[in-house]
Chain A
Amino acid sequence: MTFEYKVQGGDFTHAGYASSQVKKMLKQLDVDNVVIKRVVVCLYEAEVNIVAHAWDGVISIVLETDTIFMKLTDNGPGIPNIEQAMQRGFSTASHEVREMGFGAGMGLPNISANADKFLITSEPGKGTTVEITINLNSTAV
């Protein structure tokens, strides 16, 4: 099964919509709760990154029998130094975004801690693609 969700940069009102839909779907499919939690953490953080940093983006979810593959592609400023972006506490979020409690430099480390496979590719000035795979049948990270 494949699903797509559009994400609008700056639209914090709807941030988390895709994560919420995917959570409901996995619950209906009776996926283990621990696995659902890991999927939700990864997807929400990646979704909020598009809202906080990019102009717009698309989330595509590919659900197979034993894995969920989440690909988030955005049009945005891109990440010049991915290694730096991955460091806990590093953030380029705006003051407004930080005031809401986002942008503490914890999002990407959260994804890394919960994903089975996690890949970021980025072209500065164009955008970023985040690819996350989680095995549905294993609770261990």
Chain B
Amino acid sequence: MKVTDIVEKLGLNVFSGHEGLGREVTGGYVSDLLSDVMGHAESGDLWLTIQTHRNVMAIASLKDISAVIITSGEKPGDDTIAQSNQEGIPVLGTELSTFELAGRLYSLLN
């Protein structure tokens, strides 16, 4: 499944990184601790978090994350958006809580 399919099926906002909407999604990871993501996320994962600063993009890029989804209506910072565009890794958003979104995403991917 591609990022764009998930955007459509879950009604997500696309804040940035449109170039990467065709990236393939193979799984998901939920965490707001950056070293946890560094240590355990897999390439191709969607990363669900409420962190919005640009270091999220550094990690997403280093780990080859397919897209970042910011939950609970939080918005990414301007420098996060800039780096997302530069890396071509989409930053998506939802009003849903991480719990609700993770549940829907899990059903979609499995």
User: Footprint of B on A, CB under 8 Å?
Assistant: 12-13, 15-16, 19-20, 23, 33, 37, 40-41, 44-45, 48, 100-102, 104, 106-107, 109-110, 113
- With A19-B58, A101-B32, A102-B35 given, can you name 15 additional A-B contacts, CB distance below 8 Å? A13-B79, A16-B55, A16-B61, A19-B62, A20-B58, A37-B43, A40-B62, A41-B39, A44-B58, A45-B38, A48-B34, A101-B49, A104-B33, A110-B39, A113-B39
Question: A5 CA to B59 CA in the complex, in Å?
Answer: 19
Question: Which of under 10, 10 to 19, 20 to 34, or 35 or more describes the interface residues of B?
Answer: 10 to 19
User: Footprint of A on B, CB under 8 Å?
Assistant: 32-36, 38-39, 43, 49, 51, 53-55, 58-59, 61-63, 79
- A-side interface mostly: helix
Tell which of A19, A37, A41, A101 has the most Cβ of chain B within 10 Å.
Answer: A101
Partner of B58, one of A15, A106, A107, A110: A15
User: Could you say which residues of chain B place their CB within 8 Å of the CB of A37?
Assistant: 43, 63
- The reply to whether B38 and A110 form a contact with Cβ atoms under 8 Å apart is yes
- The reply to whether B62 and A106 form a contact with Cβ atoms under 8 Å apart is no
- The reply to whether B35 and A20 form a contact with Cβ atoms under 8 Å apart is no
- The reply to whether A104 and B35 form a contact with Cβ atoms under 8 Å apart is yes
Assuming A19-B62, A20-B62, is B36 touching A104 (CB within 8 A)?
Answer: yes
User: Could you say which residues of chain B place their CB within 8 Å of the CB of A15?
Assistant: 55, 58
- The reply to whether B32 and A106 form a contact with Cβ atoms under 8 Å apart is no
Partner of A101, one of B51, B54, B79: B51
User: Could you say which residues of chain B place their CB within 8 Å of the CB of A41?
Assistant: 38-39
User: Could you say which residues of chain B place their CB within 8 Å of the CB of A40?
Assistant: 62-63
- The reply to whether B54 and A13 form a contact with Cβ atoms under 8 Å apart is yes
A selection of 7 A-B contacts at a CB cut-off of 8 Å is A16-B61, A20-B61, A37-B43, A40-B63, A41-B39, A101-B49, A106-B38
User: Could you say which residues of chain A place their CB within 8 Å of the CB of B59?
Assistant: 16, 44
- The reply to whether B54 and A107 form a contact with Cβ atoms under 8 Å apart is no
Question: A55 CA to B6 CA in the complex, in Å?
Answer: 43
Question: A110 CA to B63 CA in the complex, in Å?
Answer: 14
- The reply to whether B39 and A44 form a contact with Cβ atoms under 8 Å apart is no
